[in-house]
Each structure stands twice: as C-alpha cells, then as structure tokens.
A and B are shown apart, each in its own frame.
Chain A
Amino acid sequence: MANSRDARRRFIAAMGTLAAAGCLPSARAATPQRNTLTRPLGQLGAQYDVVVIGSGYGGAVMAARLASGRRLAVLERGKEWMPPDFPSNLTSTLGQFRSTAQPLGLFDYRAGATLDVLTGSGIGGTSLINANVVIAPDRDVFSRWPLAIQRAYASGAMDVYEERVRNMLAADTVTEADALRKNWLHATTTRQRQRQGAAVAPRALSLAVNLRRYPNLPNAQGVVQAACTHCGDCVSGCRVGAKNTLDVNYLPLARANGAEIYARIEVEWLERLSDGRWQVHYLARPADGAAVRGTVISRHVVLAAGALGSTQILLRSQAQGLPLSPALGTHFSANGDLLGFGYNTAVQSNLMGTGLGPRLDGMARTGPTITIAADYRSDPVIERRFLIEEAAIPSPLVDAVRLAMPLAAGLMPEFAPTQRIARDALGLRTDGALNHSMVYLGIGHDSASGRLQLDSTGQAKVVWPALMQEPFVARLRAEMTKHAQAFSGKYVDSPRSSPLFGGAMTTVHPLGGCPMGERGEDAVVSPDGQVYNPAAGSLAVHDGLWVCDGSIAPTSIGANPLLTISALAERTAELFPL
C-alpha cells in the first residue's frame, strides 16, 4: 500500500514537474574541483551554542553571520552536491525526487489536492534548483507586515541588507548582447503589451549566476567557479558550477568562520529542556549505514528549513507539547505563482536546455533559466500586481515536455505550427514546436489563506480549497495568453492544473506557515524572528528559538523571494544576542 502510494506520489511529482518545467533539471564538462563543506556525521557534537536547521537562504546567512565566536552546527536533511553529480537525464532526474525510498533526493515535490510545492533539498537548499533571481519586492508589500519590518524598509536599513546579499551572491544581469532568444521574445511581447496600453515594462532580472565574473577563477569566498555556458539547466542543478548557489558563497563563509556543516540529518522535532536549552531530535542517514535517531542540545536553535520544513518541525514539536501560537500553519502563500506555456509560437525561442553535450544543429544559447520579466507592478492596488518571467526547460525534461505538450495544447489548425508539432513527434530538433515556445512563471499576490497541516505520516501538507478561485489566477492567465498570442502561439496551462492530472497548481515559492506578527495570538514569530510562547503571554517568546526563512512571511511577496528571505536573515543575525 505504502509502495503504491509512493509510486503514485512519484508519478504525480513527475507530472507536476513536467508542468513546472521551468522549475526543474543534464552532462559533464571540465567543472572546477571543489572542497567539501560538510563534516562526517561522526563528528557531530553533543552540545552547541547555535544549531541552524536547514542550509537554504535563511540558514546559510545565519550560519555565516553567527559562526564567529560560537560553536555552531548546520544540520541539513539532504546531501552535499558537487556540480557534475546533478542529474543529467530524465531517469536520473525522476530518481532524485524525495520519497521514503529516496530521502536524500534533490527535489522535494509535495503533491497536494490543490497545490503542489517544489523545493530543493541538499547543502544549499533550494538555491541548488532555483533560477536564482535576485529581485527586491515593492516596499509597500510590507505595509501588511509588523511595524518593525515596515520601519526597517522605510528607513533604508533593509536596503543595506539587500545590498549585502547582492554582493555575497555576486548578482549579475543578462544583456541584449548575450543574444538569448527567449529573453528577446519576452521583451518583445512585453513591449507590444505596453503599446497596447497595458501598464507593463520589460525588466532585466538580477541573477545569482556567474555569467562572466569568475571564468575558472576563485570567487570572493575562494571557490573556483566556471562561467555560465548558457545551457539552460539552472533548475536541475548547475552541472557547470556557474550558479552562485549558497554552497559557493554564504556556506563557505560560514565554514571559514568556524561553522560545522552536516548533511544527511533531518530534524524531526524540538524539545525545550528544563535548563532552557533546546534538544533537537533528528534522524541521521549516514552514507555507510542505516538511518539512526539522535539528539543534539543547543542554547539557540534557528529554524531555517523552509516554509514546509520549519512549519512541519514546529507542528510536530507542538504535538509533543511545546506551546506555540494558534497561528502556526496559517498564512501559507503560494506567492501568487502560476505556470503557463506560450506554446508553438512563430519565433524560435531556444528555450530548450542543452546540458553539457553537443548542441543541436541550429541551436544557439539557451541562457540562464530566467533572465527577464514583464513587470506589471505599477498598479496602485498591491493585489493586482504581478510579474511574468520567462523560463527555460532543463535538458533532462526536454524530451518529455516535447512529447507531452501537443496533448495538452490540442490541435493547431494552420500548416506551420502543425509541421512543427510533427517535427517534435519525430525527434529532438530545434525547429520543432517546443523550441518555438515560452515557459511563463507568473508571480503575483494571493490571499495567503492556505494552511499547513500534518498528514498521517507527519509530513506537512497544504490545505487550500479555494486556491484556484483566487483572482491572481485569472489575471495572470489572461495576460500570459496575450503574450503567447503575440506571435501566434497558444496559451497552455500547466498540465498539472488540468483535471486530467489532478487539477492542482504548482508553487516554487512557498511562504508562510510561521507568520511574523506583533503578538503571539495571531503570529508565530516576532518581528525579530523569535518564536512566541503563548503560554507565557502575548509578547513572550521562547528564549533561544528562532525562525529565519520564507515561513515567516505573513503575506505573499509578489517577487522571487530569495532576496527578501536573505535580507531578513541578515537583519535577524544582527539582532541575535551576543
């Protein structure tokens, strides 16, 4: 039974991934060697000053900033990845979906009734499989956040943290001279919409990708990086080592500052000891043996396991008796994410990832997964604002998407598009329908009214029955349709959202679950990131327990959230007691 459920989950995960093609994985080249960051599990101590749970944006920043002068351990559930080890084909990609059989999988895809959530798992967290877009949200988005955060943004303090993050991530921008056709096509259709009266402008996106800065040279943290080859495989794991993932910047800094970094340790729940310290209960999965449960004690615990991970740990801890806010699990947001396709346009978009193998005849650069957005964020009403970003399809998924899309798109009566579909059916070519398509990732604002609950196996699941009726869905679909039609393409929803495949949407930006707020009655963490203790009063916090990741967002952000999460972590690190 468990096996069939597991198989079904993997199937749904695979289908969802096809639908979310812009969110996910490709070949081997001369990738610079890297030193490992992690220690053997046997070196894990019994007691620490600080334990950071998770090595994504929040965790990596906190570890880098807090390690000096403290005994600090980072516990990461996934494994440490070296660039050449990322999946290179469909089979190896599907084999990297986390499940009970593959707990160290790179892709944590949680299929839900109305919403699937995709995040990364491994040293570096979701930075391993995201598109590394570094973009600041509109400042007035924070008008619905606690006052201290509003003031931090209004005063310019957050600008300083954001700039610090941009520097650490060595953010760079693709230009027109990079000759990326999907970028050009999206810029073109955006300008067309502008001329048609839409309040939109093309916006080049800042990317944490080593586009040209370190051509096989050490970066600021001494990690030798190759320059981007424009293969388009950012989201299946950069096999070139050109992505500025957290394992080439913040985490090496953390290690240099004394942090001990451990992979393969999945934290299950937390317990408050009578002396005020925290006992972290974990399940370790050593490479050379069976999984084993254990504990580690720490004065401070920083939860940075992501919206699902951190909320899951706190929900389990609550079930074990830890007093926590009734708001735990609430304010879950998909960040207004919507995936769509502009299928089979007249323009060759070169969106097919090429991996590290030989390029197809007629194929030029694909480029980083995401490079440009149609920016619709000038509306005075926050909820009506959104971005439509273009995306590439990573090479391991190209064949599957090539064959699946005609089924999702249906007939296109004219000769030229039909001929392109026929070409796709006959083989992998650059002049087929898929390579004349666009993947759109819409990011807008939802009501953040989803809820995270534990399922019967103790895993966090999303409950959000009315998600499809949220206004952002129709708004984004309508605008994506206009982009697709500009050059005779056909708008196609993510196949996963079709009733045939379960009718669920997909988010790659899960937020909330441990919302930040002014009081423990309606928020899980304080504006400083400390966990409220409702048993001790409205404003009382659990000494030494912190949350520092996307789970603390009380609302959608309306932009790729990594910069916001990292900047808030920089702020929290400065507020951390000496």
Chain B
Amino acid sequence: MRKFLLALLLCLMLPCLAWARGISFSEEMHGYAWYGGEYRLAHVYLNVRIGDIDAWRGNPNHSATVSGTLMMDGVPNQPVTGTLNILSPAPGDDGRLLAYRLNSAAVQVLGVKHVHDDPGMDLIDDMTTLHAVFAPAGQALPSVQDVLYQAVWTSELHFEWWKPDVVWDFTTSMSTINTAWYDELTVRILFVETIFSTLAKVFFPWV
C-alpha cells in the first residue's frame, strides 16, 4: 500500500519535476502604424506563451514567445512570431516595460508599453498603450531606449480595455501550459501575483 501511494505521488508530481509549468494568453491591439510612407490602420492578434513561469519570475528579462497575425491597411496579412518581455526593467530604471519584438517575412515591429510612475492616473493606459516602430524586414530598428526616451516611435496600438468583449476574450484566453491539474490555480495566481507585485514596486517603491 505504501509503495502504491508513493508511486502515485511520484506520478502526480512528475509533471512538476519534469516540465516547466507555464501560462499563455491572447491579446489583440488596434491602432495605427507608420509603414511604407503612410499611416495605416493596424491590428495585431497575438498569442503569448510564457513557457516557464518560474524562470520568468526569477528573471524579469526572461522572454515570452509570441505568435499571431499582423494586419495593416494596404498590406497583406502577416503571420508574425517574436518575443515579449513582460515587465522587464526599463533602461535607466524608469519603471517597467512590455517590449514586443515581432517579425514576419516582410515586416518587423519593435513596440514598447512603458509602465512608469509619471503624473496622472494612467496605469491602465501605460499597460495597454503600445508605442512602436514598424519597418520592412531587414531594416535597422531604433533601440528600446530611443523609443522610450527620444519619442522616435511612429505607431501606436491599444489593447482596448474599455471594450468588454476585448477584456472578456483576454481573460478567458488564459490557460496553463504543462501544468499539473493541482498546479493550475497556483500558476494563474503566480502570474497575477507577479504582475501586481511588480507594478506595486513601480508605483510604491518605498513599500
């Protein structure tokens, strides 16, 4: 009986021991992009995958992987892949970043959401406003610093948090990856807790 219970316990724990537990969610953003010498209405639909939530928690510069579709007026839809740094420290220690690096066969995007303690009640806007540069593949992109501090961004997209259907889709899109059934809730809580504790460090650094 003991052996059986021990074997069962090992079986149940195996996923934790063998695989990194993670979380994924989808995100859509809409706005405009300066691309090909024109402003264009732009939309991105992304699936974000944090393959190892513990690695991300241990290293805020850990990258999530991103895949999805980029749509712009006058440009064929582009399947994109790339990375997303979620709340990594901003250069100069001015808050945190959500830094998107997306690539398709024809287009590349560097985008940043900058969460920082500037005047005004704009935490939600900081978390949902992407300032970006769209460029043909192969062309040099500016640095994150320049996008942040030199206002060289030329495109802006929003996660439209004011639209209930968008928020619903985002919320219900969350799912765990490689996570044991008993860890499902833990992973979700860890994700949310990490987000909020990081934000708290930005806005209440003395705590």
Contacts and interface: CB of A to CB of B under 8 A. Distances in A.
Contacts of A419: 162
Contacts of A361: 118
B21 interface: no
Contacts of B38: 184, 187-188, 191
B154 A346 contact: no
Interface in A349-369: 361-364
Contact of B154 (A181, A363, A416, A487): A181
B141 interface: no
Nearest to B150: A364
B19 interface: no
A131 interface: no
B32 A487 contact: yes
A416 B125 CA distance: 11
B58 interface: no
Contact of A426 (B32, B34, B120): B120
Contacts of B118: 361
B152 interface: yes
A527 to B, nearest CB: 44
Interface in B139-178: 150-152, 154, 156, 158, 160, 162-163
A390 to B, nearest CB: 13
A72 interface: no
Contact of B162 (A181, A415, A487): A415
Given A185-B39, A188-B39, A487-B39, A346 B151 contact: no
B37 interface: yes
B31 interface: yes
Nearest to B151: A364
Contacts of B31: 346
A347 interface: yes
Given A184-B39, A185-B39, A364 B34 contact: no
Nearest to B149: A361
A559 B151 CA distance: 34
B37 A363 contact: no
B36 to A, nearest CB: 10
A410 to B, nearest CB: 21
B151 A362 contact: yes
B124 to A, nearest CB: 10
B89 to A, nearest CB: 19
B142 to A, nearest CB: 11
Interface of A: 176, 179, 181, 184-185, 187-188, 191, 346-348, 361-364, 415-416, 419, 423, 426-427, 429, 431, 487
25 contacts: A176-B37, A179-B152, A184-B38, A185-B39, A187-B38, A191-B38, A346-B31, A346-B32, A347-B156, A348-B156, A361-B118, A362-B151, A363-B151, A364-B150, A364-B152, A415-B163, A416-B158, A416-B160, A419-B162, A423-B120, A426-B120, A427-B120, A431-B125, A431-B129, A487-B39
